[in-house]
Amino acid sequence: MQFALNEDQIAVRDMARAFAAEKIAPHALEWDEKKHFPVDVMREAAGLGIGGIYIKDDVGGSAMTRFDAALIFEALATGCPTTSAFISIHNMVSWMIDAYGNDTQRHTWLPKLCTMELIASYCLTEPGAGSDAAALRTRAVRDGDHYVLNGQKQFISGAGSTDLLVAMVRTGGDGPGGVSTVVVDGKTPGVSFGANERKMGWNAQPTRAVIFENARVPVANRLGEEGIGFKIAMAGLDGGRLNIAACSLGGAQSALDKALAYMRDRKAFGKRLDEFQALQFKIADMATELEAARTFLWRAAAALDRKDPDASMLCAMAKRFGTDVGFEVANQALQLHGGYGYLSEYGVEKIVRDLRVHQILEGTNEIMRLIVSRKLIEGAR
């Protein structure tokens, strides 16, 4: 039972928190405003072992746990949820290669992924296949030693600026059993990218469509056998859901900290804001919700580490609860700032914008409820 962190876990968390404070937080507002993708800073983070957190050490990974990752991503997100979230996606893709790739694939790609010399994108969603991911239509037709890819992926983080695309493609019939996973070089002829989407938040990482037009990809780039791609995608998302919940908690904690500092300095009706009981109760509730979500996240991460039969359900629960709580706490922190919270220079409105999408990506929170309810109903039969 994990109710306190050991010395190693505290050191990992504090290392990531210090990096976020020094290298990320001072630039987060500028990156958001200029839509700057901070690859150089992410590579610095990779130098601390953050580029391959739970990748095996024979290919340069840090060989840490999902629990460690949750601590790291929450800490990084105190500096910028968007940057932390992209590093999370990169780690998720790297893990898919580590877990399902053969020895040649692992040693070809993972050493450079762990240093973030190579950066990776996860390509599952399509214009007509979001929550119903098993309905994806991007087709990969075998032609000798290559697949010929045609189709389009949508809402792909980092697309156009990353080196590798791990794409779920249809090599067989309809449904999840017809899906395979291939690693695509981003410079492959026939691969192109849409315009950088104009978004509510997450501006410090590009989001584009990925378009395949007769793009030839070696069969040797397929992860595992044909037909297990949907399984690979879903396994990756279990950890991705934990990570995005952690990013929500880190962003929300930062927003709460900003609110507390503001309440200490701001006066109204002759008193500091933090002397009003109604506002004291508000911040107590916000902190309690965050602590409850954090405790749940730790439980789910520990379950995934030990391969608990209920791990997927717990990851879905933690994602739903953590991202809902994170957004609500950040939104309340903005409210506590009054009109100043709506100004970009205070940094709270950016956190609110960034955290809103966490309730949608890695599976919408409605889909998280579906995963949980199906597991419960199945267990009751």
Residue 103: what residue type? D
pLDDT (0 to 100) of residue 380: 83
pLDDT (0 to 100) of residue 381: 77
Give Dmax over CA atoms of the chain in angstroms: 79
Residue owning tokens 């240093």: 115
Residue 363: what residue type? G
Residue 130 scores a pLDDT above 90:
no
CB 319 within 8 A of CB 297: no
Residue 1 scores a pLDDT above 70:
no
pLDDT (0 to 100) of residue 89: 97
**Which positions are catalytic?**
362
Question: Is the entire prediction scored with pTM above 0.75?
Answer: yes
Neighbouring C-beta atoms of residue 129, cutoff 10 Å: 18
Neighbouring C-beta atoms of residue 224, cutoff 10 Å: 17
State the average pLDDT over residues 81-86. Answer: 98
Nearest to 38, CA basis, from 92, 93, 94, 83:
83
The crossing angle, in degrees rounded to 10, of helices 229-265 and 348-356 is 160
**Rounded distance, CA 153 to CA 137, Å?**
9
Which range (128-132, 167-171, 322-326) has the least confidence?
128-132
DSSP letter assigned to residue 224: S
Residue owning tokens 């717990």: 314
Q: What percentage of residues in the chain have a pLDDT greater than 90?
A: 97
Each residue's pLDDT tens digit, 211-228 = 999 999 999 999 999 999
**Rounded distance, CA 327 to CA 361, Å?**
14
Q: Give the CA distances from residue 86 to residues 50, 77, 330, 341, 344, in Å, rounded to whole numbers and listed in that order.
A: 12, 10, 20, 25, 22
CB 353 within 8 A of CB 342: no
Residue 278 scores a pLDDT above 80:
yes
Copy the structure tokens of residue 244: 């995005």
Residues near 22 by beta carbon (within 8 Å), at least 6 away in sequence:
none
